[in-house]
Amino acid sequence: MGFRPSLICSVLATALAIPTASWAWGDMGHEIVGTLAYARLTPKARKAVDALLAKDKDPLTKPDFVSRATWADKYRDSDRTTTQLHYKATHQWHFVDIEIEGGSLQQACFDRPPLPAGTPASQGPAKACVVDKLEQFMKELADPATPTGEKTLALKFIMHFVGDVHQPLHAADHHDGGGNALAIEVVPSTWQSNLHSYWDTQLVKRLGSNPTTASAAVGKLITPQNAALWSTGSVEDWAQESNEKAKTTAYNFNGEKSFVDDHGSAGELLDAKYEARALPVAKEALAKASVRLAKLLNDAFK
Ligand SMILES: [Zn+2]
C-alpha cells in the first residue's frame, strides 16, 4: 500500500503550517493596519513616532512604521527554535483567550496582576494578556519620564497589539488554542489548515493581492462617520467586541458539515457561505484597528 498523494500533501501542509501558526494576523494584516493608521496620524504624532523609529537599529524588520507593525511577531519568533527567551517572555502578550462559553476577561488575563513597581512594561511577567500589555505600554508612551529605548519598545508593541486584539480569534477560545487546534478545510479548494491561521492570513489575502491594494479596500470603510464611531471605547471593550465576533462569526459554522482530516482530527469544512460571512468581519476589524491605533498615538503625542 503506497502513500496516498493527499496524505503526503496534508502531512507536508501540516508540517509547514505548525511553525507559522502564529497567534497573530499575518504580516499582511499588520501592514494594512500600519498603512492606514500612519495616514491618520496628526503631523505632531507622526513627527514624534518617526523620530523614535529613526533611532531604532533593531534588524528584525525594516525601520519604517508599516514594517515595524510586524516587529512584535518577529521578536517573539526570533528565538522560538533556539533559546526561547523572547518567545517565552512575550508570546502570551499577543492575545486574550476568553472562552466563548462562560469565560471571562479576568480569567483570560491571568487575574490581571499589576506590573511590579519599577519594572518596565517590556520586562513584565510573561503571564499577561494583550489588554493589560496595551494599557501598560500606552502609559509608558504618554509619560515624558519613560527612557527613549523603552518608549520605542512601547510604541512597537502598541503598533502590533492593537492589530492583534482586533483579530476575533485573538480574543476567543473554544478549548482549542484560539482555533489553532481546530482543523479546517476550505471547499471547494481542499486547502487544509486550522481555523486560527485561516483568520490570520487566508481571509486577509482575499482582501487584495498585496498590502497596498488590500489597504485601499479596507480604507474604503473608514468614512468620517465610522471613524468617529470607532474612536471610542477602551481596549477592554475592543477585546470583548472581538470575542463577540468570534462567537457570532468565526466559531459559527451554521450547519456546515464537519470533516475528519488525514490525521483523524475532526474539523470544519468552510464553504463560500462561511467566507461570505467572515470576510466583511475581518475587513471591518482591520479598519477599526487602524482608526484606533491612530487615535491612541495621536492622543499620546498631543
Ligand atoms: Zn502578534
Given pLDDT bands bounded at 50, 70 and 90, which one contains residue 216?
Answer: very high
User: Is the per-residue pLDDT at 23 higher than 70?
Assistant: no
Same domain, 108 and 185: no
254: CA distance to ligand 1 center in Å? 28
Query: What is the pTM (predicted TM-score) of this model?
Result: 0.90
Residue 301, in any domain of the structure: no
Domain assignment present for residue 232? The answer is yes
Distance 197 CA to ligand 1 centre (A): 12
Same domain, 222 and 119: no
For residue 267, the tally of other CB atoms under 10 A from its CB is: 19
Domain membership of residue 194 (yes or no) is yes
Model confidence at 4, pLDDT cuts 50, 70, 90, reads very low
Q: CB of 49 within 8 A of CB of 39?
A: no
Residue 220 CA to ligand 1 center (angstroms) comes to 25
Report whether pLDDT(262) > 80.
Answer: no
Q: What does the alpha-carbon distance between residue 299 and residue 224 come to, in Å, rounded to a whole number? A: 18
Give pLDDT, residue 24.
60
100 CA from centroid of ligand 1 (Å): 20
Mark whether 166 and 198 lie in a shared domain: no
pLDDT at 263: 79
CATH number at residue 244: 1.10.575.10
CA atoms within 13 A on the CB side of 83: 5
Question: Which range marks the domain in which residue 219 is found?
Answer: 5-20+176-293
> How many whole angstroms from 1 Cα to the centroid of ligand 1?
43
Average pLDDT of the residues in 95-111: 96
Whether 74 maps to a domain, the answer reads yes
> Where is the domain boundary, 123, 153, 170?
170
CA 2 to ligand 1 centroid distance, Å: 40
219 and 189 in a single domain? The answer is yes
CA gap 154, 146 in Å, rounded: 10
- List, for residues 187-204, the tens digit of each pLDDT value: 888 888 999 999 999 999
Pair 235, 265 in one domain: yes
| Number of domains present in the structure of the chain | 2
Mean pLDDT of 100-108: 95
Whether residues 251 and 162 share a domain: the answer is no
Alpha carbons 128 and 89: distance in angstroms, whole number: 10
The last residue of one of the domains, among 109, 144, 170, is: 170
Asked if 82 and 106 sit in the same domain, the reply is yes
Strands of the sheet containing 258-260, edge to edge, are 191-194, 183-186, 266-270, 258-260
Residues 136, 71 share a domain: yes
Q: pLDDT tens digits, residue range 137-162?
A: 999 999 999 999 999 999 999 999 99
Residue 133 falls within a domain, yes or no?
yes
Q: Residue 24 Cα, ligand 1 centroid: separation in angstroms?
A: 4
Gap from CA of 20 to ligand 1 centroid (Å): 11
Same domain for 92 and 163, yes or no, is yes
Same domain, 204 and 130: no
Helix/strand number for the chain, H first, E second: 15, 4
Indicate if 156 and 202 belong to the same structural domain. no
Of the candidates 140, 170, 200, which is a domain's last residue? 170
Q: What is the CA(273)–ligand 1 centre distance, in A?
A: 28
Q: 87 CA to middle of ligand 1, Å?
A: 11
**Does 35 map to a domain?**
no
Domain check: are 88 and 207 in the same one? no
Residue 32 lies in a domain: no
